[in-house]
Amino acid sequence: MAGELVGYRDSVPLCPYGARHRESRKLMHTYLAPSKMEGLSPMQEQKMRDFLHGLFTAPDKLPMHIRRVVAAIVFQVSHGYTVVDDEDSLVALAEKATLEFSLASAPGAFFVDFLPALRYLPDWFPGAGFKKTAKAWRQTAEVLVNEPYDKVKEQVANGTAIPSFTTSLVEMNASPTPEEEDIYKWASTGFYSGGADTTVSAISSFFLAMVLYPDVQTKAREEIIKVVGRDRLPNFSDREKLPYIEALLKEVLRWNPVAPLALPHKLIQDDVYDGYYLPAGSIVFANTWGIFKDPDLYSSPEEFQPERYLSSSVPDPRSFAFGYGRRVCPGQYLADGSLYLAIATTLSLFEITNAVDKKTGQPIVPVPNYKAGVICHPEEYECLIKPLYSDADTLSHLGR
């Protein structure tokens, strides 16, 4: 459904292994390599200050602020596009496409995934309503793939393009073949479709964990104050001096994994695993959730315990959280940096606590339930986000 009918077969995550897949990943890796992250740091730090300002002015709109800051970072990198406000049309389009992809790719959602021959049914045939749905979702994907790319082409032509991944592709090859241009379009779209929703989920999990584990929040803030002080926000240069923040980030990724079964992999040759023969063409899922909940690897796996990583003997969840092999997330370093900034800067400026029931006056304790899907998000929860400093000092931290 998601691949052939909706059209995401051409996307980097679902593209069959071959020349197109290798070229797409090569382009993305070149732009998103660890050595390139330093050049993106000032932009990420500014976008995060905008995020914190949103929390300060409208703390009750946390989900919106998270979605916006992630989109702002991703689209700045992918297309040089600046997200202007909360009603941004490109963000709305991207979120619509992401939702539709999530629905299309949900395991067991469409019978055509089990009987692919059903895609040849005529549209009017009883039970073929999925084809009408697929056409509508395909149109959304095509608009998202084409319009932002065409806008960058126009900007490059008239000399107004802002440096970005897409800008670099257009400038690198002024006369691409149709196949090359299609690769460029899907690769640039892959920045959002492959990374935004996962980062949104991880940041949402961080806020949920801070409500449920206030002692962890206190320890993390104490480390920030000791290392950074109270007069400025943490930045990337502080990261190696903040081991507890680093441990907290790892635990966010492990505690409730964003992609519990990662992406499905299709074997290109026969294989044997643990005595089981797996013929070429078999679909294999990596059970990331099972790894993260294995008590032999992570003691008391249901608990949120950053301290476990202060010992080097515990596996780093980042070895699993961003996928595996040829399908590992090419934007993992950008996502990791965004998550670090969200955690460190938020804790330096705000206290995250339980919301209060207006009728009883009692704290509302959220339950860490997650919506099932390829990408899992926390179910809606309430929390209070309170500045640690006066309004004037908070705004000063934000450069306002």
Determine the number of helices (DSSP H) and then strands (DSSP E) in the chain.
Answer: 13, 9
- Look-up of token digits 């998000």: 377
* Euclidean distance between CA atoms 185 and 23, whole angstroms: 13
Residues in the chain: 400
The strands making up 350-356's β-sheet, listed across from edge to edge, are 363-364, 350-356, 383-387
329 is in an annotated binding site: yes
Q: Kindly report the CA angle at 46 between 188 and 334, in degrees rounded to 5?
A: 40
- Is 67 within 8 Å of 195 (Cβ atoms)? no
Packing angle of the helix pair 178-212, 214-227 (nearest 10 deg): 110
- Phi and psi at 115, nearest 5°, equal -125, 80
Q: What secondary structure does DSSP assign to 204-245, as a single string?
A: HHHHHHHHH-HHHHHHHHHHHHHHT-SSS---GGGGGG-HHH
Q: Helices 62-79 and 178-212, interaxial angle, to 10°? A: 150
How far apart CA 229 and CA 221 sit, in angstroms, is: 10
Q: What are phi and psi of 351, to 5 degrees?
A: -105, 135
Please report the DSSP string for 345-382 in residue order: HHHHHEEEEEEE-TTT-PEE-----EE-SSS-EEPP--
For residue 270, CA distances in Å to 157, 264, 280, 326, 373 come to 49, 16, 4, 17, 29
Partner residues linked to 378 by β-bridges:
370
* Annotated binding-site residue numbers for heme: 329
* Annotated binding-site residue numbers: 329
